[in-house]
Amino acid sequence: MSRFVSSRIAILSFCLFAGAAVTAAAGQPQAAASSSQDRSAQSQQGPLVVQPISSGGVITPEVLFTNVNHSSATLIGATGGWLYDDSLLLGAGGYWMVNGSHGSGLSYFGFVTGWSVPVGSSLRLGVRGLFGGGDGSFTKTITVPYYPYPDPYHNGSSGNQNLTYVQQQVHIHQGFFVFEPQATAVFNFGSKVALDFGGGYRVIGAAGGWGSELQGGFGRIGVRFGPF
């Protein structure tokens, strides 16, 4: 190789080396500036908070206070189901009257669905509804017609004109459909343990004309086990 060619190769190698060094020196401040900008943006946005959303089974033993046949009544029962994303409840529930007198009774069950939203870290407010069926029994005083002796369908007596009305007690047993909307409040006070309050109105249908004796407002309290 000639001395001329060798000198040209040396000059070219020096230029390439110098160019690479200048490029690296220029890139370092830009990388440092970019890193500084990222740290500044993170400091302005604040720390990243990850809040897990859970789903799982829940069960709530409950006590319900209401009126049956225009008298105070207490029912016990439970609701169970699956809570999706801490908000949507799908399940079933049932209640039974425990303080009936004179043959009074009430029991019903059905599908339950509800929705709730958080209000702070320990409280959720929402709505819930039960739709199903049941049966009730109670004693009722009714007015019935009464014909004194002799039988008014036979001739020969003025008893045909003696129609009167008397009071009589009858025992009624009646099936029905039930729809029970309510507002709810759930207070979390432990690991997967919460107080579950509710209040609403029990709507009775298909009760043979006795719906007013079986329906009414109610208040409810329970202890819920499961995700909050």
Mean pLDDT of 209-219: 94
SS3 label, residue 103: coil
> Using 50, 70 and 90 to split pLDDT, how confident is the model at 87?
very high
CA-nearest of 222, 215, 123, 225 to 178 is 215
Full-prediction pTM beyond 0.85? no
- pLDDT tens for 34-45 read 445 555 545 455
DSSP secondary structure string for all residues of 120-176? SSSEEEEEEEEEEEEEEEEEEEEEEEE-PSSPTTSSS-GGGG--EEEEEEEEEEEEE
Phi-psi region of 85 (alpha: psi -120 to 50; beta: other; left: phi over 0): left
Percent of the chain topping pLDDT 70 = 70
- Whether 227 shows a pLDDT value over 60: the answer reads yes
Q: What residues contact 203, with CB distance under 8 A and at least 6 apart?
A: 178, 179, 180, 181, 215
How many angstroms separate the CA atoms of 108 and 215, rounded?
12
pLDDT in tens, 56-73: 999 999 999 999 988 899
Q: For position 197, what pLDDT does the model report? A: 97
